[in-house]
Structure 1
Amino acid sequence: MASNPPAPEAPAPSRRSTETFGYGDYRTDEGPWEEWNPTAESIRPVRGRHRVAKQRGGLARSSTVLGVGVIAAVGAGGMASANTGKPPVSISMPDLPSVGSLLTDDKEAAEDAAAALSSVGTSTDDTTQSAADAGESLRSRIMAQAESQQGQMESKAQAAAEAAAAKAASDAAAKAEQEAKAKAAAAKKKVEEEAKRKAEAERLAELAKEYTLPTSSYTITSTFGQAGSYWSSGYHTGLDFAAPTGTLIKAVHSGTITEAGWAGSYGYRTILTLDDGTELWFAHQSSISVSVGQKVATGDVIGRVGATGNVTGAHLHLEVHPGGSSSGIDPGAWLRSKGINP
């Protein structure tokens, strides 16, 4: 087998090598120079335990990755701030690997360090997105609260409107009920009045069968209470039926003759007393056809019309004295109460 030849020895350093910087020839004004060779006597002893970190070839590569990660993180943060237009937010830096881990020849460790540094930009984007989400959440809560308040106001307004409508309907129903009651009461009253009128008409019709007018073919010339100088009392005390002399005078109702004869200013007068005590006076007769104590029925002839006594013409003067009293009442009203219209 061939053996490798020994390497040539390096030439010994020349004395001329004292030209340290190589800027020219040896200068005597600066010399003499000697080559510095540190020895144990010239180097200050190191105290304590100090280690110089071993530099390896991966330093440059790790430094490059570190710079790229920082630039990416800063760029991402700046772009996020510029895009959002919102005030800056705090950036949460992830835990970076130790310098020792960066200064390594291990490729996988370097890539992990670069990924950790690149995550700074991602964290910034996440923070910006979180701030945007928080703002949107606050806006949503405010809008929801406003909508809730609006809904409550609308509910109150609707409830008030429904209450007002219910009250108006209740008032209208009460008014309608009152009107209905009033109409019913008026109708009932009308029916009652009609029934009463009908009953009174029936009663008067029955009385009319028992009563009659004192004469026929007459004219009412003077009424009860009429004032004048013709009467001694100053007013008329009866009802005058003007008729020709000799016209028949009839008993208005059944009763008993209690007086028949001359009576001064009344001329010839007949008094008929009814069963209830009412006295009917027939005055100014031309003749009398009955006598005292005689019973007569309705329509019986008791005398004739004349002009005796204080008169200005032939007529029948009729007076009505309830219970035989001296003062009389209106004969016309009394006759109407018996179903007879003079």
Structure 2
Amino acid sequence: MASNPPAPEAPYVPSDTLVYGGYRADDEAPLGEWNPTAESLAPVRGRHRVAKQRGGGFARSSTVLGVGVIAAVSAGGMASANTGKPPVSISMPDLPNVGSLISDESASSDDTSAFSTVGTDSTQTTQAASTSDAGEVLRSRILAQAEQQQDQIDTKAAQAVADAAEKEADAAAAKAEQDAQEKAAAAKKKAEEEAAKKAEAERLAELAKQYTLPTSSYTITSTFGQAGSLWSSGYHTGLDFAAPTGTLIKAIHSGTITEAGWAGSYGYRTILTLDDGTELWFCHQSSISVSVGQKVSTGDVIGRVGATGNVTGAHLHLEVHPGGSADGIDPMAWLRGKGLNP
């Protein structure tokens, strides 16, 4: 390796004051200064070269070097502390010699740039790890929210099914209760109807003991309301019991005889007035066995079947006039109401 030759020594000048480039006395002029130049020095080979002299260049380069080393070490330490991972090895570049440090500003800038990049890989690794962790956290949060929403949907569906089942059960219970009530009401109504029918039968049976049919061995030939030219009113006003002449006529119920005699188209007629005011007309008799004002009881003979008046044959014409009214009612219905069945 080539080296620089030693510089010539400056002449010795005794003096009390030491100055840059030599000594001088207080009153003497300064001696010549030694200032090596490119002409006075041998050329530099290899990597070494004579640096241009700049004021404070070495100090500034040294400061940059120190700051770069501190920054690199600090960056490595902070990366290790923040990430909690094994420390990243720091690759230190080859430090230039003093000559290269003070060579020029471009060399200093390059070296500073080299030191300033120390720890960049560690920082990027930390940032990438942080980004990965944040993505994993976000993914976990999204999955948790999706699972929670699915759970809510499942819960709502299960609740809807339960509500539908409960509603169906309530409807079935309500229908069953309604059916039971309807059956109970029908049974009650049927029982009431049967009881009423039984009571009516008992009543009619009791009335039947008090009432009787007006004759026996008869045939019903004409009914109430039947139309025809044979009747002056245009329709039949009573109930006809056809029977042989002389068949006994009986009092249907107890009462008082209010009329007994001839009555024109009715022939011989007897009127029996009951205690409630109902008049019973017995017409076309062949003979009368009672007189006006006579009290009779149920089953007493009051006359005989005949063919007097406006008739076509022997029969008993019976009319019923409630309260003594001029217009009569259907004798068949009235008799059945008394427990009798003509």
Query: TM-score interval w.r.t. the shorter chain?
Result: 0.5 to 0.7
Query: 2:324 maps to which residue?
Result: 324
Q: Which amino acid aligns with 2:193?
A: E
Per-residue deviation, 1:221 = 0.5
1:174 aligned onto 2:174: yes
d(CA) in 2 for partners of 1:50, 1:221: 160
Give the deviation of 1:174 after TM superposition.
2.8
TM-score (norm 2): 0.66
Structure 2 alignment gaps of length 5 or more: 11-32, 38-52, 60-75, 77-86, 98-117
Partners of 2:227 and 2:57 lie apart in 1 by: 160
Matched residue, 2:234: 234
3-state SS in 2 of match to 1:209: helix
Query: Which residue of structure 1 lines up, in the alignment, with residue 106 of structure 2?
Result: none
> C-alpha separation between the residues in 1 aligned to 2:227 and 2:92?
145
CA distance in 2: counterparts of 1:254 and 1:321, whole angstroms = 16
1:290 Cα offset (Å): 1.6
Give the aligned partner of residue 160 of structure 1.
Answer: 160
Once the two structures are superposed, residues 97-124 of structure 1 have per-residue CA deviations (whole angstroms, 9 ceiling, x without a partner) of 9999999xxxxxxxxxxxxxx9987877
Cα pair distance change 1:43/1:192, threshold 3 Å: same
Tell me, yes or no, if structure 1 residue 281 matches structure 2 residue 281.
yes
- What is the distance in 2 between the residues matched to 1:47 and 1:311? 172
Matches within 5 A, 1:189-268: 189-268=189-268
Quote the offset at 1:130 in angstroms: 4.5
Q: 2:236 aligns to what SS in structure 1? A: coil
Q: Cα deviation per residue 1:243-262 (whole Å; 9 max; x = unaligned)? A: 11111111101111121121
The 2-side partners of 1:136 and 1:334 are apart by 103
Q: Which residue identity does 2:201 align to in structure 1?
A: A
| Matching residue of 1:270 | 270
- Listed one character per residue, the Cα deviations across residues 220-275 of structure 1 (whole Å, up to 9, x for unaligned) are 10001111110111111100001111111111011111211211111111111111
Range with greater deviation from structure 2 (206-215 or 279-288): 279-288
Aligned residue pair count? 260
How far, CA to CA, are the matches of 2:142 and 2:184 in structure 1? Answer: 62
Measured after TM superposition, the shift of residue 193 of structure 1 is: 1.6
Q: Aligned to 2:210, what secondary structure does the other structure show?
A: coil
| 1:2-38 Cα deviation digits (max 9, x unpaired) | xxxxxxxxxxxxxxxxxxx9xxxxxxxxxxxxx9854
Structure 1 equivalent of residue 148 of structure 2: 148
CA contact (8 A) 1:214 1:251 kept: yes
Matched to 2:251, the amino acid is A
Residue 217 of structure 1 aligns with an amino acid whose one-letter code is S
Deviation of 1:145 (Å): 0.8
Counterparts in 2 of 1:96 and 1:239: CA distance versus 1, 3 Å = same
Residue identity matched to 1:230: L
Distance 1:36-1:250 versus aligned 2 partners, 3 A rule: closer
Q: Distance between the aligned counterparts of 2:317 and 2:56, measured in 1? A: 169
SS at match of 1:291: coil
Asked if 1:297 corresponds to 2:289, the answer is no
Partner of 1:309: 309
8 A contact 1:94–1:120 mirrored in 2: no
Q: Quick check: 2:255–2:295 contact (8 Å CA) kept in 1?
A: yes
User: Paired residue for 1:30?
Assistant: none
SS at 2:207 equivalent = helix
- Cα deviation for residue 300 of structure 1 reads 1.1
The 1-side partners of 2:136 and 2:280 are apart by 114
**Structure 1 residues 37, 320: closer, same or farther in 2, change over 3 A?**
closer
- Distance (Å, rounded) in 2 between the aligned partners of 1:317 and 1:43: 180
Q: Which amino acid aligns with 2:168?
A: A
Give the Å deviation of 1:173. 2.7
For 1:18, the equivalent position in structure 2 comes to none
User: What is the percentage of aligned positions where both structures have the same residue?
Assistant: 72
Q: 1:187 Cα deviation (Å)?
A: 2.1
Q: Which residue of 1 aligns with 2:338?
A: 338
What TM-score do the two structures reach when normalised by structure 1? 0.66
Spell out, residue by residue over 1:21-66, the C-alpha distance to the aligned partner (whole angstroms, 9 max, x if none): 9xxxxxxxxxxxxx985444654497867879xxxxxxxxxxxxxx
Q: Give the distance between the partners of 1:256 and 1:49, measured in 2 at CA.
A: 166
Alpha-carbon distance between aligned partners in 1 of 2:323 and 2:54, rounded to the nearest angstrom: 165
Q: State whether residues 268 and 288 of structure 1, in contact with CA within 8 Å, keep that contact through their aligned partners in structure 2.
A: yes
Distance in 2 separating the partners of 1:36 and 1:326: 178
Deviation at 1:184, TM superposition (A): 2.2
Unaligned runs of 5+ in 1: 1-20, 22-34, 53-72, 74-92, 104-117
> 2: distance between equivalents of 1:194 and 1:183?
16
Letter in 2 for 1:235: Y
